Structures are given as C-alpha cells and as structure tokens.
Amino acid sequence: MAARWDPDTLFPAQNSTAGCAPLDPYARWLLASRGRGLAQWHNWNQDSEQDFELQILACIADPKDLDKLANGKQAGVTLPTAYLAAVAEGSQRSAYFTARICGAAGFNWLRKNPLKLSWKVALPLRDAQRAAQASPKGRYGPTRDQADMQALNRVEALFPSRQPLDSPAQYKAEGLIAVIDFGCPFLNDRFADGLGTRLVGVWDQGQGPSRNHKDPARPAGWPWQKPSQFGNGRELGPTALNALRGFACKPNAAEETLIYRGLDYLIAYADPRRRVWYATHGGMVLDLVGGRHDPLNPQADADSAARAKLLFVDLPTLTAADSAGSSLGAHVLDGVRYAMAAADPEFPLVVVISYGNGAGPHDGSSLIERALDDLLRLRGGDKLAIVLAAGNARADAGHVRRRVARERSAMLRLQVVESDTTDTFVEIWYPKQGSALELRVRSPGLVWSPWIVQGQEVLMRSTEAPDEFVALLRHDREVPNGSGAMALLALAPTTQPADVEGALAEAGLWEVELRLSGSASEPVEMDAWIERDDPVRGSRTERTRFIDCDDSDAHNTLSGMATGALTYKAAGYNRETGQPTFYSSLPAIDRADPLLVLVACEEDMLQPTVAAAATRSSDVFRMNGTSVAAPVLARRLYNQMVEERQRGKRGGPPTTGLPQPTAQPTAQLSAVLKEQGLVKPFETD
C-alpha cells in the first residue's frame, strides 16, 4: 500500500480558465483510476468506439439548443426525445436533461463542450456487496452460465402478436401517483380494484425489452417493449398489465412469483436459483402511498389515493445497489419526465422518491435539485408535487462544519475503514464569494500532500504500481453540481475487490487541513460530507466516518437531493412517542425549509416499523426510516390536491393548510392531518 503524492501531477485544473464550463471533478477521478470504481468498469474504455458509454446529467444555457443534440446530429451523443417536449402546455422546455455519450467521438465532444453544458457523470459506482463477492465466472459474475438466465415464459399466449402494445404516455391518467424506486410487485391485490390493475405503467430502466429473445423488437408472447421517449429499459403499458393481472386471477393460474420469473422480473440478482424477492423497497413504498388500504389508517374508508392510477419507475439494479447515488439523479429526472408524460396535465400528479445520497452542496443548487425545481415551476405546484425522503444519516458521522480563520486552520479527521472494496469520496463546500481556502491531505502513513489552491489538483501514486493512482485531491472554484466552491478527496478501495485488480489506498486516519489562502482575511464557514457508502450487508464493517464530531454536526445531514426550494421533504418520527427518530436527518441550523415536515414512519416503540405489501398478495413486510415517511406524506398530499381540485370546480375557497411550493409557503398544517396524527411541522431540537 506504499504511496506518495506525485508532484508531477500538481497542475491547474482543466476548468480554471475563464469562460470554460466547469468540469465534474468525479470525471477526473474516473479517468485517473481508469474507471475501476464503476459498477460497469469493463465498459470504461475511452478509446473504444463500441464499448465506451457514459451517462450524464446536464443543464444547457438555451433549451432551444437541445435540437442540436437530438436525432443523432451529434456523433456519439444520444438524447431522449422526452426532453424535446415542453413541460406543460404553453410552457417552454426545461434546460435540464440526461444524455448518453458513446465512444471516442462522443467523449471528445464532451471534453471540448462546445455548448458549454454544466454536466456531471451519472454512472453507478461499485456496490459494496457485489465488489466483495463478485467473481469472473460463477454465482455473481457477469459471465454466469446463460442457461441460468433463461426465463420460462408462462404468459406467451396472452400476447400472440408482434405489434406494439400501448404505452403509459398514451394513457394520460386523470390523477396519478408515481413511484421511482426498486421492485414493483404489480400483480399484488393491493394495487387492483374491481376493474383490474390500477397501474398504468411499469418502466424498468435497467434491462432491455427482450433480453432473453433474439428478436430485437417485441417478440410474440413477450409483453415488454422499449419506451418510445427513452432509449433505455423496457416498459409494460396498461393493456399488458391488465392482461397479466387477469391471467394471475384465473383459476389454476400460475402463482404470482412464477409469472414474475417468466417475465424475467423481480429476480434476486445475486441468486443463481432465480428466486423472486420476498419483498422490495419499491413495493412497500407503492403500498404506503397508493395501496388499496392506508397501512397507517387501516380502519379508514378508502381515500383518493386508494383509487388513484399508479405508475412505477424501476431503477436499474446497479443504481439501486449503489448507496452513493452516483447515477441516481439522472434516473430520477428521467423517471419524473416519464411520469409527467403519462399524466393529464390538468389533474394532480404526485411523485415520491425514497432514495437519496449523502454528498452535494446541500443548498438546493445541485443539478438534480435545480432540475426538479425547474419542472415544478414550469408545470405548476398545484398540479405537480414531488416528495423526497429526508434521509437516515443523522447518526452516521458523515458531516462536519468547521470555521477557518486567519489565526486558526481547520482539521478534518477521517477514519477510513479496512475491508472497503469501493471508492471513498469526501466533498468540502464553502461559499465562492469572499475568502478562498487552500488545503492539503495527510495519509495514514503520515505523508502530506502539497498545499493546493483553487484550480489545482494533485494525485497520490502507488509506489508498488507506479502507473496507478490511489487518491485525488482536487479544488475547484466552479463545479457543475453546485453554486459554491468545492474540494474533492477521492480514495481507492482499501481491500481488493474480487473481480478487478488495482492499487489500494491505506486504511486508517486521513486528515485534511484547510487554511485561508494568500492574503484573505475574512473567516470561512465550510461543510464537508462523506458520500454515502454502505458496508457489505451481513458484515460488521462500519462506514467510513469523521471523528471528533459534535452535536451540531448532526445538522445539515439531509439527503443531497432533499434541499431544493420547491420539493417536499419527509423526515421521520415515532407515532407513539411523537419524537423524531434517532436516525432521521436534520436540516442546517441556519436554513429553515417550510417544505420539510415530520411524518410518522414507526408505529410504536415495540414495533418501530410499519407493515406494508410484500411481493406476493398474501404476504406483508415491515420497514421504517424516511423511506416510509416520504410515501406517507405523498399520500396525504395527493388526497388534498384532489380535494382542492374538486373544491375549485364547486367554486369554494381553498382550505388546505399544507405548505405549498409557491412564492410564500406556510408551515401550518390542515386540521385533517392534525387529527390523523401523521404529519406535523418540523422543529429543530
């Protein structure tokens, strides 16, 4: 593990020149580490025309210029056609979009960046479980015996024609609840009514429409098809979902899990026996927000949410497994646009997202937060609501706030754990107005890096493998994923993953020292976050964390996606005690957010969970966390949006007291929600 900071790599950062669009610092690390930290590392070959593919989340200065990227006009760049459409009737296009960059031509265009895009890499990083257990061939490997992957199709008689089936975009639901999550048990009785399934669409973003079939189009007997407005994944529309639901309800029909297996769906990705998940995160979220009965009010009459049409966007397996959320923003934005296309713009649409990430500016200026706020402004807050989980990071020691003054530097102390098979990232943010900082890093081997200022970076080279780097320290005044100045510390794994070799970083105490730069005199308040990196499930390995944290550092721990101006955020509390849960993330002490509310996510102290749908209709599962709080809040929001629309048609005054994503939001809650005891204003302790 011997390594040294390489003075030959100390050079001005690529985006330090005035007038250039800022570069994503993570792109520099991926290039320096040769993409070893990616879940799809073997495809990271920037010199190949066929294998190389990069997904980005981006913002363009003028939305009209999106036409220059559409229809293959730019070699190596693929833009989903959904982003060419106006967000709402009479409105304009959004400036935020996703794109795929393929081969050397696309990558060279992106590096030159003639349209001055603000962009960030949106590729999944290595999942800790897979990185620890993967092998080149066998149980978890990418070259697993293809015979194990063949799906027994038990429903082919339902779809004899090769003609395309209908799409959710053709449905235009009059009132829609959309969930962006992982794993949709669409055959479950909780999502049906007397007319059939209430689901109008399922978009699996991670698989092609006919993975087990030679015909690239939709083969006979295979209901999955390619979404018309997006170039990736597969979808089931209303006709296919109703046919599958009807088939599952027939006497002597195949059991639900056999139908899922026949459709090559909900298969546990690490199971060679192709067993179907007993329960999924997404299935529980869908039940909590739109199930036939409200899990937290089972005795109540069916509400509007229990009758609403539902849509599910299924995150790719690699994205769902990547706790860092590196590719989450791009898939979330695609999912929201997909839901908007399937909903009648004159009726309520509520989107719930119970995934999140740890790092980011945490001030609403990240690309995905700006993109969601932009959609809410263009569509209108009375027609669209987006609800996010606040996060469960309060007790993770993943955030610190420090003050840097002329007479006193600040020291961040980071305990990097052993047996970490994935990359580690630390982001340090501070206002780019006023005084600037310079910083240096010391490794556990007591080797200091040189001091670097804004516009510089330095790499740590392995002495055992001189052509490989194990750490990057980069400092930028301008970055695409936030409005502040940012320094990034990136570290290679401390333990060798099973399926890819490379030099390792040292485990132990890493220290980052910050001081005022040059003649600067004004003190600087800075915040640092460790990007979320969940340990291997079932192990005793802890997360990498800051040491010497105090109580105030538990604040400003919201998900990096949950600080936007117009999105709702759900923190969690125990219904019996009325107190916030010990893990529910806190906002910044100095930044009030009227759209952040406390929501019941635990029933009582004896069972600090909530029961909701498992995969099969006969089963239930229990879960807690702000992943529960978000759909509980979204359900109440949808009910009130429907009530407000009905009241408006009758000519009555609006009565809702929920905070609204408009110019002057309020924290007063409606009497209905107070009576239910499920949602209340957030007050910092």
Question: With contact defined as beta carbons under 8 Å apart, do 678 and 393 qualify?
Answer: no
Q: Which residue has the higher pLDDT, 126 or 218?
A: 126
509-525: pLDDT as tens digits: 999 999 999 888 899 99
Q: Report the C-alpha dihedral over residues 513, 516, 519, 524, rounded to 10 degrees.
A: 180
Q: Which residues of 185-222 are buried (b: 16+ CB within 10 A; e: fewer)?
A: bbbbbbbbeeeebbbbbbbbbbbebbeebeeeebbebb
286-319: pLDDT as tens digits: 999 999 988 888 777 788 999 999 999 999 888 8
Considering only CA atoms, which of 322, 329, 319, 318 is closest in space to residue 422? 322
Residue 71 is predicted with a pLDDT of: 65
Q: Count the neighbouring beta carbons within 10 Å of the beta carbon of residue 149.
A: 13
Residue 684 is predicted with a pLDDT of: 57
- pLDDT band, residue 679 (cuts 50/70/90): confident
d(CA 309, CA 99): 29
Q: What mean pLDDT is predicted for residues 386-399?
A: 95
d(CA 581, CA 610): 14
- pLDDT band, residue 537 (cuts 50/70/90): low
d(CA 88, CA 379): 5
Q: Is the pLDDT of residue 670 over 70?
A: no
312-355: pLDDT as tens digits: 999 988 888 887 888 999 999 999 999 999 999 999 999 999 99
Q: Which residue do the tokens 């959309």 mark?
A: 178
Q: Is the pLDDT of residue 681 over 80?
A: no
- pLDDT band, residue 663 (cuts 50/70/90): very low
d(CA 80, CA 337): 10
9-23: pLDDT as tens digits: 777 655 444 456 788
Q: Which residue do the tokens 């399934």 mark?
A: 197
d(CA 650, CA 676): 26
Considering only CA atoms, which of 345, 328, 352 is closest in space to residue 379? 345
615-635: pLDDT as tens digits: 999 999 999 999 999 999 999
Worst-scoring range by mean pLDDT, 392-406, 554-568, 641-655?
641-655
Question: With contact defined as beta carbons under 8 Å apart, do 379 and 367 qualify?
Answer: no
Residue 141 is predicted with a pLDDT of: 39
- pLDDT band, residue 435 (cuts 50/70/90): confident
Residue 322 is predicted with a pLDDT of: 84
Q: What percent of the chain has pLDDT over 90?
A: 52
Q: Is the pLDDT of residue 665 over 50?
A: no
363-388: pLDDT as tens digits: 999 999 999 999 999 987 778 999 99
Residue 47 is predicted with a pLDDT of: 53
Question: With contact defined as beta carbons under 8 Å apart, do 420 and 432 qualify?
Answer: no
- pLDDT band, residue 130 (cuts 50/70/90): low
Q: Which residue has the higher pLDDT, 538 or 423?
A: 423
Q: Which residue has the higher pLDDT, 151 or 290?
A: 290
Q: Is the pLDDT of residue 252 over 60?
A: yes
d(CA 171, CA 201): 9
Considering only CA atoms, which of 680, 682, 681, 676 is closest in space to residue 294? 676
Worst-scoring range by mean pLDDT, 370-374, 569-573, 612-616, 659-663?
659-663
d(CA 681, CA 594): 8
d(CA 103, CA 68): 19
Q: Is the pLDDT of residue 454 over 90?
A: yes
183-226: pLDDT as tens digits: 999 999 999 998 899 999 999 998 777 655 555 556 777 899 98
Residue 213 is predicted with a pLDDT of: 53
Helix (H, G, I), strand (E, B) or coil at 57: strand
How far is CA 319 from each of CA 254, 374, 427, 579, rounded to the nearest angstrom? Answer: 31, 24, 21, 32
Residue 261 is predicted with a pLDDT of: 86
- pLDDT band, residue 646 (cuts 50/70/90): confident
16-60: pLDDT as tens digits: 444 567 889 999 998 898 888 887 664 555 555 456 688 999 999
Q: What mean pLDDT is predicted for residues 566-582?
A: 93
Q: Is the pLDDT of residue 446 over 50?
A: yes
Residue 17 is predicted with a pLDDT of: 43
Q: What mean pLDDT is predicted for residues 520-541?
A: 82
Q: Which residue has the higher pLDDT, 345 or 146?
A: 345
Token pair of 151 as six digits: 């799906």
Average pLDDT of the residues of the chain? 84
d(CA 387, CA 634): 6
Q: What percent of the chain has pLDDT over 70?
A: 84
